[in-house]
């Protein structure tokens, strides 16, 4: 995070996205597999994390193009 003049912090969304992905992956590793929580559900969660990162990159690129 970086400080700006009016003392508010600017969040680095890329860093937060990375930390979120890392934390969820660690959480999924701690799950015990059963009938309710099976392997397929864990795979779906991990696959959706890739979507979060891809959506961030796409939005970020669109903003860069709009600025130019």
What tokens does 65 get? Answer: 């193009």
- DSSP string of 43-67? HHHHHHHHHHHHHHHHHHHHHHHHH
> Would you state the pLDDT for residue 1?
47
> Would you state the pLDDT for residue 37?
65
Map tokens 């003049």 to a residue. Answer: 5
* 3-state class (DSSP) for residue 21: helix
pLDDT means over runs of 10, the chain (68 residues): 50 82 87 74 84 82 74
* 3-state class (DSSP) for residue 39: helix
> Would you state the pLDDT for residue 46?
84
Query: Rounded distance, CA 44 to CA 52, Å?
Result: 13
């Amino acid at each position: 995070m970086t400080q700006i003049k009016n003392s508010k912090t600017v969040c680095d969304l890329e860093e937060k996205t990375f930390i979120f992905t890392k934390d969820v992956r660690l959480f999924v590793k701690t799950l015990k597999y059963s009938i309710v929580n099976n392997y397929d559900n864990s795979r779906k969660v991990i696959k959706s994390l890739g979507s979060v990162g891809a959506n961030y990159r796409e939005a970020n690129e669109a903003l860069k193009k709009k600025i130019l």
